[in-house]
């Protein structure tokens, strides 16, 4: 992977203390546009503008808050191993791309899906439900989408 020279790493922390560093583009004083997808943090997506500050001059900037939403949404998918896992998993990923999404894989099982603003989230949800794979809303989180239904099962 070739990294653009103007990108920097920013630190995000997930709800259970998981720390991840994402590439981001500086767009103002302590402001960064995310250039890749969070794996653990919720409520933040690709191209969101965030505020992040360095705890000391030699450290990566640390996430403080989202300043401007990009319109992208994030879901995370865990592809179940199967006898024909590679072709079954690839078929799911290929369909997501056909529906207008992109994705990053931590490995061949754990996938983070970027849903652009112009792609209908409900259509992606319905497709993911039909796959019978395990998945979750990361941004917006399930509780934001369905506030009266409580936590997802």
Q: For the segment 84-132, what is each residue's pLDDT rounded down to a tens digit?
A: 555 778 889 999 999 999 998 867 788 999 999 999 999 999 999 998 8
CA 52 vs. chain centroid, Å, equals: 18
Residues 6+ apart with CB under 8 A from 103: 77, 93, 96, 97, 111, 112, 113, 114
Between β-strands 73-78 and 31-34, what pairing exists: parallel, antiparallel or unpaired? unpaired
What is residue 149's predicted lDDT score, i.e. its pLDDT? 63
pTM comes to 0.85
CA dist., res. 146 & res. 136, Å (int): 13
Q: What is the largest CA-CA distance in the chain?
A: 51
Neighbouring C-beta atoms of residue 78, cutoff 10 Å: 12
- Condensed to tens digits (0 to 9), the pLDDT of residues 8-24 reads 999 998 888 889 999 99
């Amino acid at each position: 992977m070739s990294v653009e020279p103007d990108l920097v790493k920013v630190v995000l922390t997930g709800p259970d203390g998981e720390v991840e560093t994402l590439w981001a583009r500086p767009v103002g004083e302590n402001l960064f546009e995310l250039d890749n997808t969070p794996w653990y943090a919720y409520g933040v997506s690709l191209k969101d503008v965030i505020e992040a500050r360095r705890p000391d001059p030699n450290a990566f900037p640390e996430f403080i808050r989202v300043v401007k939403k990009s319109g992208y949404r994030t879901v995370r998918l865990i592809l179940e191993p199967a006898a024909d896992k590679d072709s079954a998993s690839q078929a799911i990923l290929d369909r997501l791309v056909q529906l207008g999404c992109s994705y990053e894989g931590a490995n061949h099982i754990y996938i983070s899906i970027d849903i652009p603003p112009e792609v209908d989230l409900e259509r992606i949800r319905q497709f993911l439900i039909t796959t019978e794979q395990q998945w979750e809303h990361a941004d917006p989180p399930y509780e934001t989408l369905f506030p009266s239904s409580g936590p997802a099962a």
